[in-house]
A and B are shown apart, each in its own frame.
Chain A
Amino acid sequence: MKFSIITPCQSAELPQLLALRQNLTMQVNQDFEWLIALNTPLDLTTPDWQTAFPVHQITFTGQTLGAARNAAIQVATGDWLVFIDSDDYLTPNALAELAAIDPLPADTLADLYQFPTYEPHTSFVASQDQTNVPDSLPKWGGAKRRQPKNHALNLETVVLGQLTPTTTVAPAALNWLEHKFTRNAGVNRWEQFNRQLKITGKVINRQLVQDNQLSFDETNALYPDYTFLTQVMARTTAYVRLANPTYIRVKHNDPVNQPSVHQLDVPDRWQQRVAAWQNSLVAITDPDLHLAFSRYCLYRLHRFLYMALATSETVDSATIVDIPNFMTQLHQFLQLVDDEALGEISMLSRHILTRIRRQPVYPRHAINRIVHLRQLGRVIKHRGRGITRLAYTWWFTKLPIKSKTILYESFLGRNFSDSPKAVYNYLQAHYPGQFKHVWISNPGVTGMPKGQPHTTVVKRFGWRYMYYLATSKFQVINMRQPKWFVKRPGTKFLATWHGTPLKHLVFDMDNVASANPLYKQIFFQQSRQWDYLVTANQFSVDVFEHAFMYPVAKMLKSGYPRNDILSAPNRDDRARQIKEKLGIPLDKKIILYAPTWRDDDYYGVGDYKFTLKLDINRLKRELGDEYVLVLRTHYFITEHLDTTGFGDFVYNESSYDDIAELYLISDVLITDYSSVFFDYAILKRPILYFVYDYEKYGSVLRGFYLDMEKDLPGPLLKTNDDVLNALHHLPQVTQDYAAAYAKFSQRFNAWEDGHASQRVVETFFNESDLK
């Protein structure tokens, strides 16, 4: 047996274990056994588990990863131990490439070459079905600058046949040309130290481990690997890494629900880390390795410890508890590190660590100073960018709170619209002069309520913005606040959100769809700062409960303030005024076309994003006497769209502030996968869905909360013929969908009675606030 694959597993990880089994069956080299260290019973006799390679379950005493791996090592029979975690996977040639290395001496620490990603095995396999490229890898999930850009080309034997017969090349070199790897030995043995200290994807000679009785630390739940790996490193003369990545390490982007060991919220994480370093350093006798490991540890202290200490005193989820005890532990650890390594780190950092080394004290001021200097350094590096934020953190958040100031933000300052606008209008009308209103605006945005009584407009991220963000008692925001926002005691935050959810949100998104790996964690932390979340219907309440993990008790079941205008008694008069403002003839009916934005993923080459699939020429030809078309598209489409040829038939209102006003003037809505139809349905007017790319959009539709085939209040139309036909026969369409429309309205718009703003204001503000 060439390899023994060791996979520690917990019962919650069984589904990913099955995915790994599937992955291992695809290995080109099947000369291995798979040892699963798992304490939950696993029935290996079922057909699913009948594989070409032997699979054994190993139970172990205790709960730690270290105990699991040690138990598996005890029963391994392969020449080489391969460490694979249950959520990770391998490329098909991983073991074959390693097996092909000849010679691979026993005193080698081998590495399958980790490739971090957020794409789990199942998603990657599904994407591979479409593009079957042998060297493809999942989407890179590490730091951008570290992404491997090139694939090393392993030459085939036939290329080597190009050499003249008289050429003599060492067999090992010839073998290497066909199976390339990198090798650190001799003077560069301890380069890439960080890579060498990661257990997953490592391949280690079993005899070497067993002869030297090397084992993982079973007492350290978080860092069991350091002691084992440093001892392996001490007993190996070379570090060999395959030239191309073959070990796919899946990172978790939901630390709230599915944290990896490194993401677990453990208050004594730093204590466990330093304890593991200490145990390892004590056992290292090789001076070079001792120096290299000292450097490794000191760099981590220098880079990460100070911020952790500085924030531990201010934030709720402290990463270091019992600082005095930790200082004692650190003091003992620092006695062990090499002086040479300590001398290499920067002066301020060295000063702090030397003080702790001398005495177990907590140099709070020095640590705060270094943290502040780093923050200032970042601002200087970015030539002043971020200075206002620094002022917010350092000074503005220390100023007294202004009890009569309300801060509003709609769509990150892009316009004066949505529910914050409705709340603002309501307060201005019913509580005039009671509050100071501050609106956040991006530079160049028009239509902001500048000049309105008691109203100030501030530039987003400017000095005044930071001042009001820190000192306003009330914040009314329809998206998310900045992640560095500090929720000060005594302030109240109203999250109005901006629509009934159609596409999966936050915690309902899978690992891949979430672009920012920290998105879920950041969203979770941000939403904990919301005092109230406005909801439009019971459906939204149910979705937000799991998608935002937000407590139902803190949701306002009020309907959307922004939709009050659609149920207002004077809505016809308002509609006429808006039409006049836009210059639309009063005798013309209006078709509102609001397609969603499609990005590159759903388009083939040459099929560009700004192509409008609705045949406007034909619409004009057939309906121009009776209708005009109002376009509401993404700004990118708008910029590339030339509507001059359509005369007074097309009105491009893509940059119009308030879409609710466009709803009000229109007689029929054409949309597709955009959530605009939830609000539009309040008007009880016909809705058509022009879904020309419905089949192509299939993978996206799977991420919708609604069943597009069953739940909609209007027809799905795939061609321009269908759209024209529906527009010509609107009464018939209305009649056909009357029942579906009623059901839809009941489900989504039951709370929209035109008084949502009142309900929100009366709940959010105390009576004393409104006096």
Chain B
Amino acid sequence: MHILINVVPQNQLDWSCLTTLVGEFTQQNFAAATFNLQLPAGQTLTAAQQQQLTDWQVTINQHSTTLTADHYIINLRETDHLLPGALQQWAQVMAKHPGSPISLAAFDTSTPLDDQIMAYVADHQESMLQQTYRQLTSATIDDATERLITLWSLQSYSVQTNLQNGRLLTQRIRPTGILLPAELLTPTLPLCSAAQAFAVLRQAPDIVRLHVPTLQREMWAEATPIAWLNELEAIDATKLDVMWQPVYADYFQRQLNTLLTTAGHKQLSRSAHLALLARIKQRTLHPTHRWSRLGLLHMLSPRVAHQLFY
């Protein structure tokens, strides 16, 4: 199994973040992986940067030519982070379930990683696995490395066949942070897109979930709400077969509600927020839940909704 890490910057490439991510990748010492940078259209690199990428053995815009059937691809943003041992853990699960997409649990980039690990370990202190591990080690949890090992002690995965479970779609349909088997990719869809992840999901017999985070990444709905709306709208629900149509329609509405909540946290400018509200209002004809934000938006004008939500 070979893993292709495809880095897709959201807007302008943040070179320092990319340097960090490549560093985290290199430290994994994982031979069966390649690193590709999918450069945004219109952006160029300096000669020094190009040379640096060559030194790192990072290819540019070559993902499609290198993929073969036994490959897995994972899209990441350059602002994401790999935790130590991530690729090895992925590879272990891939070897057990070749051909299944793998959904990865992740920490968020908005909070310091160590705090999140600490909280995660504390949340799972009743776990028999962690308790057993603590019996066998004399080290205390105060040490950062020890916390990482404790995280490993909790690592588990599950094979899920309830593909149409609406609540779990949030962790199964994302442009980034999911390991997609190359044999299930649809060439006509953008490689890094929610539509691609959704297409893979619909074809897969099951999906594997790796439960303990191996990544730190941005939430699309929070970090880039407009881009996330674009991603959701790019999925043509009318072309889905009848079993998936209601599932996606429900998911879509819930995501719009999430967007209305997260976009109101003043990360967007007033005008961008208003534009987003207008777009969402235009998209929704019949909100399922009347007393949700989406339901309110349906009854109000975007301007009033902006006053309420922002």
Chain A residues with CB under 8 Å of B138's CB are 170
B158 at the interface (CB under 8 A from A): yes
Binds A, one of B33-41, B83-91, B215-223, B291-299: B83-91
Binds B, one of A22-30, A176-184, A744-752: A176-184
Establish whether residues B137 and A169, one from each chain, have CB atoms under 8 Å apart when the complex forms: yes
Establish whether residues B241 and A163, one from each chain, have CB atoms under 8 Å apart when the complex forms: no
Question: How far is A29 from B131 in the complex, measured between Cα atoms in Å?
Answer: 28
Establish whether residues A180 and B129, one from each chain, have CB atoms under 8 Å apart when the complex forms: yes
Closest to A172 in B: B136
Q: Which residues in window 153-198 of B have CB below 8 A to A?
A: 153, 155-159
Q: Taking chain A's interface residues, is the majority helix, strand, or loop, or is none over half, making it mixed?
A: loop
Contact with A along B37-57 (1 / 0, CB 8 A): 000000000000000000000
Closest to A640 in B: B242
Question: How far is A640 from B246 in the complex, measured between Cα atoms in Å?
Answer: 14
B243 at the interface (CB under 8 A from A): yes
Question: How far is A151 from B96 in the complex, measured between Cα atoms in Å?
Answer: 11
Closest to B158 in A: A150
Establish whether residues B157 and A151, one from each chain, have CB atoms under 8 Å apart when the complex forms: yes
A and B contact pairs by CB, cutoff 8 A, 8 listed: A153-B89, A161-B29, A162-B88, A163-B84, A169-B149, A243-B129, A605-B202, A605-B203
Q: Which residues in window 79-103 of B have CB below 8 A to A?
A: 84-85, 88-89, 92-93, 96-97
Q: Which of B96, B128, B129 contacts A135 (CB 8 A)?
A: B96
B residues adjacent to A (C-beta < 8 A): 27-29, 84-85, 88-89, 92-93, 96-97, 128-129, 131-133, 135-139, 145, 149, 152-153, 155-159, 202-205, 210-211, 241-243
Question: How far is A608 from B241 in the complex, measured between Cα atoms in Å?
Answer: 9
A300 at the interface (CB under 8 A from B): no
Chain B residues with CB under 8 Å of A155's CB are 85, 88-89, 92, 152, 155
Q: Which of B97, B139, B145 contacts A164 (CB 8 A)?
A: B145
A173 at the interface (CB under 8 A from B): yes
**With A155-B85, A170-B139, A177-B133 already in contact, 20 other A-B pairs whose C-beta atoms are closer than 8 Å:** A133-B96, A134-B96, A150-B157, A150-B158, A151-B159, A152-B155, A153-B157, A155-B89, A159-B92, A162-B29, A167-B145, A169-B137, A170-B138, A176-B136, A180-B129, A180-B153, A182-B132, A185-B135, A243-B129, A608-B243
Chain B residues with CB under 8 Å of A243's CB are 129
Establish whether residues B93 and A153, one from each chain, have CB atoms under 8 Å apart when the complex forms: yes
Q: Which of B28, B92, B135 contacts A183 (CB 8 A)?
A: B135
Closest to A184 in B: B128
A647 at the interface (CB under 8 A from B): no
Chain A residues with CB under 8 Å of B210's CB are 153
Chain B residues with CB under 8 Å of A167's CB are 145
Chain B residues with CB under 8 Å of A640's CB are 242
Could you say which interface size class chain A belongs to?
20 to 34
Contact with B along A635-649 (1 / 0, CB 8 A): 000001000000000
Question: How far is A158 from B84 in the complex, measured between Cα atoms in Å?
Answer: 11
A698 at the interface (CB under 8 A from B): no
* B117: min CB distance to chain A, Å: 15
Q: Which of A149, A151, A170, A177 contacts B152 (CB 8 A)?
A: A177
Most buried by B among A155, A161, A181: A155
Chain B residues with CB under 8 Å of A172's CB are 136
Establish whether residues A151 and B156, one from each chain, have CB atoms under 8 Å apart when the complex forms: yes
* B122: min CB distance to chain A, Å: 19
Question: How far is A185 from B137 in the complex, measured between Cα atoms in Å?
Answer: 15
Closest to B134 in A: A173
Closest to B212 in A: A153
Q: Which of B128, B158, B202, B242 contacts A151 (CB 8 A)?
A: B158
Question: How far is A640 from B128 in the complex, measured between Cα atoms in Å?
Answer: 48
A47 at the interface (CB under 8 A from B): no
Q: Which of A135, A177, A185 contacts B153 (CB 8 A)?
A: A177
* A93: min CB distance to chain B, Å: 12
A606 at the interface (CB under 8 A from B): yes
Chain B residues with CB under 8 Å of A134's CB are 96
Please judge, given known A-B contacts A133-B97, A159-B89, A161-B29, whether A173 and B137 are in contact too, CB under 8 Å: yes
Please judge, given known A-B contacts A161-B29, A167-B145, A169-B137, whether A153 and B156 are in contact too, CB under 8 Å: yes
* B235: min CB distance to chain A, Å: 17
Question: How far is A245 from B227 in the complex, measured between Cα atoms in Å?
Answer: 44
Q: Which of B29, B156, B243 contacts A152 (CB 8 A)?
A: B156
Establish whether residues B203 and A606, one from each chain, have CB atoms under 8 Å apart when the complex forms: yes
Closest to B83 in A: A162
* A202: min CB distance to chain B, Å: 18
Q: Which residues in window 190-207 of A have CB below 8 A to B?
A: none
A695 at the interface (CB under 8 A from B): no
Establish whether residues B155 and A169, one from each chain, have CB atoms under 8 Å apart when the complex forms: no
Question: How far is A155 from B129 in the complex, measured between Cα atoms in Å?
Answer: 13
* A762: min CB distance to chain B, Å: 52
Establish whether residues A176 and B132, one from each chain, have CB atoms under 8 Å apart when the complex forms: yes
Establish whether residues A170 and B137, one from each chain, have CB atoms under 8 Å apart when the complex forms: yes
* A571: min CB distance to chain B, Å: 41
Establish whether residues A153 and B135, one from each chain, have CB atoms under 8 Å apart when the complex forms: no
Closest to B149 in A: A169
Contact with B along A117-156 (1 / 0, CB 8 A): 0000000000000000111000000000000011111011
* A161: min CB distance to chain B, Å: 7
Q: 8 tightest A-B contacts by CB?
A: A150-B156, A182-B128, A173-B137, A153-B155, A162-B85, A162-B84, A159-B88, A173-B136
* A154: min CB distance to chain B, Å: 8
Establish whether residues A170 and B242, one from each chain, have CB atoms under 8 Å apart when the complex forms: no
Question: How far is A176 from B264 in the complex, measured between Cα atoms in Å?
Answer: 47
Establish whether residues A152 and B242, one from each chain, have CB atoms under 8 Å apart when the complex forms: no
Question: How far is A181 from B130 in the complex, measured between Cα atoms in Å?
Answer: 10
Chain A residues with CB under 8 Å of B159's CB are 133, 135, 151
Chain B residues with CB under 8 Å of A153's CB are 89, 92-93, 155-157, 210
* A468: min CB distance to chain B, Å: 41
Question: How far is A176 from B150 in the complex, measured between Cα atoms in Å?
Answer: 12
Please judge, given known A-B contacts A153-B157, A155-B155, whether A163 and B149 are in contact too, CB under 8 Å: yes
Most buried by A among B135, B138, B205, B243: B135
Question: How far is A10 from B239 in the complex, measured between Cα atoms in Å?
Answer: 60
Question: How far is A177 from B133 in the complex, measured between Cα atoms in Å?
Answer: 8
* B102: min CB distance to chain A, Å: 12
Contact with B along A567-580 (1 / 0, CB 8 A): 00000000000000
Question: How far is A185 from B138 in the complex, measured between Cα atoms in Å?
Answer: 16
Question: How far is A150 from B156 in the complex, measured between Cα atoms in Å?
Answer: 6
Chain B residues with CB under 8 Å of A170's CB are 136-139
Chain A residues with CB under 8 Å of B97's CB are 133
* B254: min CB distance to chain A, Å: 23
Most buried by B among A134, A164, A180, A185: A180
Establish whether residues A606 and B156, one from each chain, have CB atoms under 8 Å apart when the complex forms: no
Q: Which of B88, B145, B157 contacts A158 (CB 8 A)?
A: B88
* A414: min CB distance to chain B, Å: 25
* B195: min CB distance to chain A, Å: 17
* B23: min CB distance to chain A, Å: 14
* B64: min CB distance to chain A, Å: 25
Establish whether residues B133 and A173, one from each chain, have CB atoms under 8 Å apart when the complex forms: yes
Q: Which of A156, A185, A606 contacts B241 (CB 8 A)?
A: A606
* B142: min CB distance to chain A, Å: 14
Q: Which of B131, B132, B145, B153 contacts A163 (CB 8 A)?
A: B145
Chain B residues with CB under 8 Å of A159's CB are 85, 88-89, 92, 152
Question: How far is A663 from B97 in the complex, measured between Cα atoms in Å?
Answer: 50
* B268: min CB distance to chain A, Å: 38
* B172: min CB distance to chain A, Å: 15
* B218: min CB distance to chain A, Å: 24
Chain B residues with CB under 8 Å of A180's CB are 129, 132, 153
Question: How far is A188 from B132 in the complex, measured between Cα atoms in Å?
Answer: 11
* A109: min CB distance to chain B, Å: 15
Please judge, given known A-B contacts A153-B157, A606-B202, whether A181 and B242 are in contact too, CB under 8 Å: no
Establish whether residues A181 and B132, one from each chain, have CB atoms under 8 Å apart when the complex forms: yes
Question: How far is A183 from B127 in the complex, measured between Cα atoms in Å?
Answer: 11
Question: How far is A608 from B88 in the complex, measured between Cα atoms in Å?
Answer: 37
Closest to A181 in B: B132
Question: How far is A640 from B203 in the complex, measured between Cα atoms in Å?
Answer: 21
